[in-house]
Each structure stands twice: as structure tokens, then as C-alpha cells.
Amino acid sequence: MKSLYIADSVVPALAPGAKPVLPVVAATAHSLPEQANALTRARAFAEPLLACETLDTGENILAHADAVAAILRGIGGSEAMQAASYLVYACEHLHKPQEVIAKAFGDNFAALAMETTKLVRVQRHARQMRTAADAAPLALAQTSAMQTENVRKMLLAFSRDLRVVMLRLASRLQTLRFYANSKTPLQAGLADESLHVFAPLANRLGIWELKWEMEDLAFRFSEPDTYKHIARLLDETRVERERSVERMRAQLESDLNANHMAAKVSGRPKHIYSIVKKMRGKSLDFERVYDVRALRIVVANVPECYAALSWVHSHFNPISEEFDDYIAKPKVNGYQSLHTVVRDASGQPTEIQIRTQAMHDHAENGVAAHWAYKEAGAKGYAGVSASGAYDNKIAVLRQLLAWQRDLSGSPSQALMDDYIYVLTPDAAIIELPQGATPVDFAYSVHTSLGHRCRGARLDGVMVPLQTPLKNGQTVEVTTAKEGGPSRDWLNPELGYLVSHRARTKVRAWFNALALTETIAKGREAVEKLLQREGKTAIKLEDLATQLGFASADALFESVGKDEFSLRPIEQLLRPHEPAQFDAQAPLLRKPRSGDQAGKSGLLVVGVDSLMTQMAKCCKPAPPDAIVGFVTRGKGVSVHRADCSNLAEMVAKNGERLIEVEWGLGQAASSHVYPVDVAVQAHDRTGLLRDISEVFTKEKMNVIGVQTQSIKGTAWMIFTVEVADAGRLHKVLGMVAELTGVRSVRRK
């Protein structure tokens, strides 16, 4: 059988529907070993240290520890646990507390005292910072709501050890009692913490005795007028209510016992906060709150619970919508009972709860009772043997996780194992993944702090930046005035970073650095071009907009990455005039560097090295079918065979046609030829840039661009250099797929 190791107990994993049996187990690593006179010895040990000391609440520490021990005793805590309440407060008054307490009481007591002391220190520091924030609103402090959430996180972080939780619950209840008895104003935030953190935790653990009192005391301070109003209403009806409830109690107990059910019937105390919650939740007046009058019936076993319910319903008028069966379907914290509301002969409603003694014990002390039985061993505790059956449906660990989900809305079952909570020097609580380092911490506080982090102190001690952090540590980082992260931080083998968020911020810093360098490179190239062209007065933002970029930096980035050629910028700076065919004054193609004059790669009647020119009306390129036309004194003009201009010239001077063909060999293959591509598209920002990028990626140099936009339609002509027109078909297909392009063709 698998087991879940939970705080002071081992809860067996159960088959569906099976009831757990509390095992007799020797002390685990988390249990407190019983020692002779442990309570007396612990108080004597702590008294000289605590007798004259006070808490920040003003309460004497020894008196507080006495009261905490009494509360623990009241909910079934063993002497060992009560003894721990003194050792916790003694820690802060010892030079080496862990060593001293371990020597006097053992390692388990020392570990519990140190863990609880750490949590006490965290909460105290947080309260001091919040008080300072209330006094100085402009201080960098957390809001009350945020701090309440942080207290919850810290309790959750330390709740791996249930003993720490029990001690803190008892301590908080005593603090509220102290303020109530001394009639002094409650410290800021304590009421909210008690209502929204500590009471729900007590509820999840099933310790209703602590929950109800804590809620009423906290509500008394948070809403004093409402509290007094409900208290006055209860007091006004108290005499008559108690008289009628007592008559009903006596009748029920007598009748149930007469029907062979060994029942104990008692009145149930009313809690002001629960009344207010019901009034608000159901929009009820005080007179319509049914459970102001309440009774509890305790019987021997489950069958008698239902028998008692049947008898009650047969003798009183039940309110059907107010019935709940928490025996058949227990609450998530293991609570079991039958709840019903009935009216007596006068029509007065009374809530009645019916349960077994074991259910009642669990309802009053919850997990505390379960844990107390375990510590009592085989001898038992308060008449209940540790080897006996105990109906603890839900494991303690699951209750703590459910409490966390109640408050935060997080479904994560692994939260307790996956996260730690540490403090800034100002007592702000920071949630980090398990194994996080000071560098992770710095980035969690602020990105700039992370970039400039150069060293760290944990609880005042200098440590390497790779040091894993632990729950409750105060972390302080030292920083440089300026600078950035180290690339070593991204090396997982070096252990600087655990947090995905911190890694992302470091990568973003280096990406931004690379982008800055790329933009600077692109800016330099563009500015040099403007100087060469004598256009330094042009506005860079306007230039970028004309080229289809959102900003000048976007243009510089594209140029710096070699994704955008400078040739379109040149063409924009030198407006391109439309080419017109003139047979009398043809233009010769200028050879590229490395070409030999006259070596055009063309054969005229089988002979190369003759003066030729590519007709600008049709711009032929291999492997187009071509025809030559002999001009007057300017050599041979080469046209595509389907050129419309050529047809007109043949009609007038057909005798000038001459056979030409593309040459072969190195001279021919080294040539590139300009061709025109016509594009019609929906005009949009970035269109020119997107089309240019297609040509650039396909290694086709754009040497001319003409654009015109009419009523939202862009008409563009790109002149590109190609060695083989056959490749152009693929590129035209890619341009056609761009957003907004309606047609693309070679002219």
C-alpha cells in the first residue's frame, strides 16, 4: 500500500470507497518525540528569556506562549506540541538557537522552532512595512490586499510541516483575543489576514473551534458597527430563544432515548460572522436566518443518525430546501453531518445537526484531532485508541492544496513542491520556482535589476549568484550602475537561471543589442548612399515611407540584414524616365565590369564581337526567340520575335532583318539582361518593400522601379537583371502570392 507522508502523520492511500484506519506508527522525521516533562522543561527553558519581553502587538511574550499552549491543548495537541510553542519564541533570544535547542530537546524540536520562527519573522517584517506604507502613502510598499495574498503564500510555503501551521493558527487566535481583551485598536491588516487567510485554513483543516472564534473576533474589528448591531439583536431575543431551545432540546433527548437511541442533544453556539455571511449571501433579514436557534444531536453510529433524522422530521415540520446530507457526501475537508431545519408548533425555525461522536470530534478539531491521536500512540488519547477507526476521508496535504485553490483560483496540484517564497529587503514576498537563484530573484523584482545584478546576499551573507534560494530567506542583490547580463547566464550547465521568465528577459536583452547593431549598420549604409547622391537633406522617415517601411529604423534593419538592396533607394532618388524606342538613336547596353567591349554573348549571322544592343521596348533575355534589326550606324538592335515595335519596323524596312541567336560559352553565361515586370495590386503600406524582397531573395537585382497609385490601385514596373528569363516564371509566381497582388506579368 502506498502512503502519503504528511507532517506528523502517515495517511495510507485508499482504494475507492474504503475507509481509512489510523495506523500505529513510530515517530517520523516530522513528528515530535514524547519526552518526560517536555512541557514543563520547555517553559522553564524559555521563561528567563521571555518573561520581560513583548511582541510588536504589545503582548508579553511568555503570556502569549502560555495562551498558545492552552489553545493547542484545547484542540487536542500533545504536550510535545505545546512545548514547541515556548521554544519558537525562545529562538530569537538565543545566539545559536538551533544548536542550543537541539542539544536540550532534540533535532525535531529545533527544526520546528526554527521553521516557525522564520515564518513569524517574515510576517512581522511584512506588517512593519505595511504600517510604514500607511504612514507614508508614497513609500514603495504593497497594498493591503497584496500583502494578505503574500501571507497566504508564505503559509502555504511552510505548510509542508503541519506543525508550523498549527502553531501559527493558535498564535493568531491568541493575538486576536489579546486585542479584544485589552480593547486596543487592531494592527492594520490583521483582521483581513485572519478572515481571508487563517480562518479559511482552519476551515480546510476542519478545526472549527478555531475558525468560528477567529472569524468573530476579526469581524468585530473589521466591521465593528455591524458586529454590535447583530450582537444586540441576538441579545434582545436571547432569553426567550434560550428558553424555547432548552424545551426543544430536553424533549428531543428524552424522546430519542425512549426510542432506543443513545443520543446527547445540546444547544449550538451562534457565531455572529456566520449569521452576517448568511444574511448577505441570501439577502435575508435577521428574522429569516434559520440557524439563530440551533441544536446538535450526537448518536452512536451512522444508522442512528438517519433514524434520529426520521424521528425529527416526523415530529416537526421540516423545511425541505434546507436539508443537507454531508454523511453521504462529505465536505471536501472531511466534515460529516446531517443538517436540517424544522419548525416547532409555534412556527419558529430551528437548525438541527445530527452526527456520530467521531464525526463531532473531527468537526471540532479536524486534522488536529487526527494528529493528536497519532502522537498519543497505542495508549490512546482522551479515550480514543490510535489503532481504532477514524473517519479522515481527505488527506491533510490535499486539504492544504484545496485551501490554496480556494484563495488563489489556481488548479495546480504541484504548487507546494514547485515554488518557494523569499523576501526583498523591504519584506515584499517574491514567488519563485524551486531551485531559483539570486539572478532569478533580481529579474522577478525588476528587469533592470536583473540586467545589472552582480552579487547577492542571503540573510546578510554574500553567496555566489548560482546559489539555490530557500523558503523565507531575505535576498539582497548588488548591482552595477549600468551594463547588461552575461551570456554565461544562458548556459544551463552553469546554473545561473532556473526561471523561464528570467531566461526570456536575458535573451531579449541580447536580441535588442544585436538589433541595435544591425540598425546602426543599415543607417550607415543608407546615409553614405545619400551623401554620394547629394541628397543629405532628405528626411529619413519620408524615405522609409516611400519605400513601404513603417519607420526609418525598419528600413535600416532590413538594409543591415542584407534583406533590402540599396538599388531601389537609388532609383527613388533618380526618377526613372520611361524608355522609348528610337531606331535612329539606339542606346547601347553598358558592359558590366569584367565584360569585354563587344563581347555581348550574341551571334549575328554566326559571328560575335559585332556591335549590338538590346531593344528597350521588349528587353529580350535568354532563352527568348530573338531577331536582329540593322540600324543606321548603331549596329544591330536585338528584339524579341513577338515584339510589336519590331513588326512595325519590318513592315517599313523588312530588308534590314538579320539572323541573331544567343551565344554559348563563358562570355555568354557571364551576361545579365534587364527585363520589365508589370504588377497591378491593391495599394497598401509595405507593398513595394515586399515585392522588392522577393527579387532580392531570388538573387535578381532590381535596377529600376516605376510606381503609380490611382484610386487605391498600384501600378508598378520593376526592371530586374536576369541571366536567364526562364527563371523569371518562378519569381512571378511568388510575387503573385503576395497580399493584395492582382496580376503580375513580364512586359
**Which tens digit of pLDDT belongs to each residue from 111-135?**
888 878 777 776 666 666 555 555 4
Average pLDDT over residues 460-465: 91
Q: What are the domain boundaries of the chain?
A: 32-217, 223-394, 435-498, 515-573, 602-746
CATH architecture of 32-217: Orthogonal Bundle (1.10)
Query: What is the pLDDT, as a whole number, of residue 385?
Result: 32
Count of C-beta atoms within a 10 Å radius of residue 175: 23
With beta carbons less than 8 A apart as the criterion, state whether 27 and 33 touch: yes
- Model confidence over 689-728: pLDDT tens digits? 889 888 888 888 888 888 887 778 888 888 888 888 878 8
Q: Which residues contact 120 (CB under 8 A, 6 or more apart)?
A: 88, 168, 171
Query: What is the pLDDT, as a whole number, of residue 353?
Result: 92
Query: What is the pLDDT, as a whole number, of residue 288?
Result: 65
Strands 317-318 and 626-630: unpaired
Query: What is the pLDDT, as a whole number, of residue 439?
Result: 94
Instruction: Say whether pLDDT at 308 is over 70.
Output: yes
Query: What is the pLDDT, as a whole number, of residue 287?
Result: 65
Query: What is the pLDDT, as a whole number, of residue 305?
Result: 93
Closest C-alpha to 603, from 659, 642, 671? 659
C-alpha–C-alpha distance, residues 86 and 43, integer Å = 6
Q: Which long-range contacts (CB under 8 A, 24 or more apart) does 103-111 make?
A: 104/41, 104/45, 105/35, 105/38, 105/41, 105/42, 105/45, 106/33, 106/35, 108/27, 108/29, 108/30, 108/31, 108/32, 108/33, 109/32, 109/80, 109/83, 109/84
Q: Do 435-498 and 223-394 fall under one CATH topology?
A: no
Closest C-alpha to 189, from 280, 124, 275? 124
C-alpha–C-alpha distance, residues 1 and 567, integer Å = 77
Q: Could you tell me the pLDDT band of residue 284, with boundaries at 50, 70 and 90?
A: low
With beta carbons less than 8 A apart as the criterion, state whether 45 and 54 touch: no
Query: What is the pLDDT, as a whole number, of residue 388?
Result: 33
DSSP-derived secondary structure letter, 566? S
- Lowest mean pLDDT of 60-69, 283-292, 584-593, name the range: 584-593
Q: What is the mean pLDDT of the chain?
A: 76
Instruction: Say whether pLDDT at 165 is over 70.
Output: yes
498: left (phi over 0), alpha (psi -120 to 50) or beta: alpha
Q: Which residues contact 594 (CB under 8 A, 6 or more apart)?
A: 670
Q: Which CATH superfamily is domain 223-394 in?
A: Beta Polymerase, domain 2 (3.30.460.10)
Q: Could you tell me the pLDDT band of residue 304, with boundaries at 50, 70 and 90?
A: very high
> What's the CATH fold of domain 435-498?
Ubiquitin-like (UB roll) (3.10.20)
pTM over 0.85: no
Q: Cα 480–485–488 angle (5° rounding)?
A: 130
Strands 317-318 and 294-299: unpaired
The winner for highest mean pLDDT among 149-153, 207-211, 212-216 is 212-216
Query: What is the pLDDT, as a whole number, of residue 529?
Result: 87
- Distance of alpha carbon 308 from its chain centroid, rounded? 50
- Model confidence over 70-103: pLDDT tens digits? 998 887 777 878 888 898 888 888 888 888 888 8
- Lowest mean pLDDT of 48-57, 328-337, 603-612, name the range: 603-612
> What's the CATH fold of domain 602-746?
Alpha-Beta Plaits (3.30.70)
Instruction: Say whether pLDDT at 744 is over 50.
Output: yes
- Model confidence over 393-441: pLDDT tens digits? 334 444 444 444 454 444 444 444 577 778 788 766 788 888 999 999 9
Query: What is the pLDDT, as a whole number, of residue 633?
Result: 67
Query: What is the pLDDT, as a whole number, of residue 456?
Result: 92
Phi, psi of 8 (to 5 degrees): -90, 5
In the block, residue with C-alpha cell 421540516: 318
Q: What SS3 state is found at 602? A: strand
With beta carbons less than 8 A apart as the criterion, state whether 392 and 424 touch: no
With beta carbons less than 8 A apart as the criterion, state whether 506 and 497 touch: yes
Phi, psi of 388 (to 5 degrees): -80, 170
With beta carbons less than 8 A apart as the criterion, state whether 339 and 353 touch: yes
